[in-house]
Amino acid sequence: MTQETGGFAAFNLNPNILAAIIATGYEEPSAIQQQSIPIIMAGHDMIGQAQTGTGKTAAFALPILHRIDPAKREPQALILAPTRELALQVATAFETYSKQMPGVTVVAVYGGAPMGPQLKAIRNGAQIVVATPGRLCDHLRRDEKVLATVNHLVLDEADEMLKLGFMDDLEVIFKAMPATRQTVLFSATLPQSIRAIAERHLRDPQHVKIQTKTQTVTAIEQAHLLVHADQKTSAVLSLLEVEDFDALIMFVRTKQATLDLASALEAKGYKAAALNGDIAQNQRERVIDSLKDGRLDIVVATDVAARGLDVPRITHVFNVDMPYDPESYVHRIGRTGRAGREGRALLLVTPRERRMLQVIERVTGQKVAEVRLPDSQAVLDARIKKLTNSLAPLVADAEASHGELLDRLTADIGCTPRALAAALLRKATNGQALTLAAIEKERPLVPNNAPRGDRPDRSSSDRPDRGDRERRAPMPLAEGRARCRTALGARDGIAAKNLLGAILNEGGLAREAIGRIQVRDSFSLVELPEDGLERLLAKLKDTRVAGKQLKLRRYRED
């Protein structure tokens, strides 16, 4: 086992995968990785019971990349995820681990994006397909052979997929794949519905169960700010106006981002520098020394470049880009709050990253409070406070040392001492806005951060996938009602009025007896009277809506 790759070398993974692991900064495999990687590499089917945040993505991504053949330009591995956000996270992880594997292509397949480019990427031979079930079924309707060459299947967060009503879609997908495939199923819980899938579709699966350990970071004050991706730099500059920091480290994902953000900070007068994997060791040491002795106040770094960085004067950590997993988050914010000192960690969260924020909160066992961008008054107060602090030490002996010069200048210029002081302040502040009206004009256009869910993002790239929309929890039930489910939804051309009309006509109910009707893409939920429900469902058994059988049944949230 080599020192550079730690425990990962023991798995005998492809050397190119090991190289990518080193570049990512991982040193030792997590518990789920330790147990799962050998099983998946050996070709066995597996059921893994593990929460998000345990490192399970690498647990299946690394052995699957090891087993695929880059020379074959055809889909070889399919990873199913319940939501678009998770699909994108998993696809990004595969791209990261396969960076040094020439010829390996990853495609993410999800709703809210054009189908054409996705299908083209699959037909062009992407070996790794990461998909949400609904959109993948849309592709199967266009090309039923699209999964014919897949020999590795992973169901990630299978329990979430069933909660979102994807059971019918999963059965379609299973039938479209070779029966000889390897199947791996990950789920936080194992209700009977998941066990039934395993019995039908997995062959002698091996079981792995991991208990999630809570990672505490109680010494550090944590907060998050909701922003759009293209407004991060503006948000960072606004936050720096009001944060009272000594030294600060900002984390981003890419080398280019370290350079871009450091440049933007320098342009605003901050003493900042970039730290990334391309920076030579001697230059890296100079940057860290400058941060220690106060010549620098801000370092913008990638995770790998920040390894081993220990500077006691760091009071703040800004997670400008969301970390890939909760462990990385804990390591990042651990750069502050050292030796009993107070620390503060701020996390910028884009709309599609809210789910990862929830994972971080669960793994750390702490709520990450939401904050808003400072308003103009807060910025003005902060600027005046900084100006006051910089001038206060100079006032004590200024009149004794420069009083005569002041008298001469006011006489020569022909102005009052107040007018001269104002002119000197203007010069000292270098045109910085120091009135509310001026600050309002210069403030960047950044979103007001409403509470989660109140301000949906309307950009086309962040439009929710079907899994996103269907993930919404059903509304609370009124007393005396039962919730029922039909596999008919919006994609079948169904609207609430169609369901209401069919149930009223065939069930013989009064309008007020029927509660809320929620139509989702692939299924619908209807609230019906609990009293006599079984008789009513039997009466509706052969009812058809839009030419398709209604097949209402009681909805159980297991």
Residues 57 and 113 in one domain: yes
Residues 242 and 338 in one domain: yes
Residues 15 and 145 in one domain: yes
∠ CA(420), CA(423), CA(424), 5° rounding? 90
Nearest residue to 548 via CA among 505, 488, 503: 488
Query: 371-374 — which CB contacts under 8 Å span 24+ positions?
Result: 371/223, 371/224, 371/225, 371/346, 371/449, 372/225, 372/448, 372/449, 373/225, 373/235, 373/238, 373/239, 373/446, 373/448, 373/449, 374/238, 374/239, 374/241, 374/242
Q: Is residue 324 part of a domain?
A: yes
Q: Is residue 215 part of a domain?
A: no
| DSSP at 7 | G
Residues 252 and 309 in one domain: yes
Q: What is the pTM of this model?
A: 0.52
pLDDT tens across 408-428, in order?
899 989 999 888 888 888 887
CB proximity list for 150: less than 8 A, separation 6 or greater: 75, 76, 77, 78, 129, 177, 178, 181
Residues 55 and 131 in one domain: yes
Mean pLDDT to the nearest integer, 393-420? 86
pLDDT tens across 334-390, in order?
888 765 667 899 999 988 888 889 888 887 888 898 988 877 787 788 778 877 877
**CATH code of the domain in which 66 resides:** 3.40.50.300
Total domains, the chain: 4
Residue ending a domain, choose from 349, 374, 399: 374
Residues 145 and 70 in one domain: yes
Domain that holds residue 429: 377-442
Q: For residues 220 and 550, what is the distance between their CA atoms, to the nearest angstrom?
A: 54
Percent of the chain with pLDDT over 90: 28
Q: Is residue 62 part of a domain?
A: yes
Q: Is residue 449 part of a domain?
A: no
Residue ending a domain, choose from 325, 354, 374: 374
Q: Is residue 78 part of a domain?
A: yes
**CATH code of the domain in which 513 resides:** 3.30.70.330
Residues 255 and 360 in one domain: yes
Residue 473: per-residue pLDDT? 47
Residues 342 and 433 in one domain: no
Q: For residues 327 and 332, what is the distance between their CA atoms, to the nearest angstrom?
A: 9
Per DSSP, the three-state class of 315 is strand
Q: Is residue 317 part of a domain?
A: yes
Per DSSP, the three-state class of 150 is coil
Residues 389 and 369 in one domain: no
Residues 436 and 358 in one domain: no
Q: Is residue 136 part of a domain?
A: yes
Fill in the amino acid letter for 557.
E
Residue 133: per-residue pLDDT? 92
Residue ending a domain, choose from 419, 442, 465: 442
Q: What is the CA radius of gyration of the chain?
A: 29
Residues 203 and 74 in one domain: yes
Residues 36 and 139 in one domain: yes
Residue written as tokens 């595969």?
Answer: 94
| DSSP at 463 | P
421-442 burial code (b ≥16 CB/10 A, e <16): eeeeeeeeeeeebeeeeebeee
Q: For residues 416 and 406, what is the distance between their CA atoms, to the nearest angstrom?
A: 10
Q: Is residue 462 part of a domain?
A: no
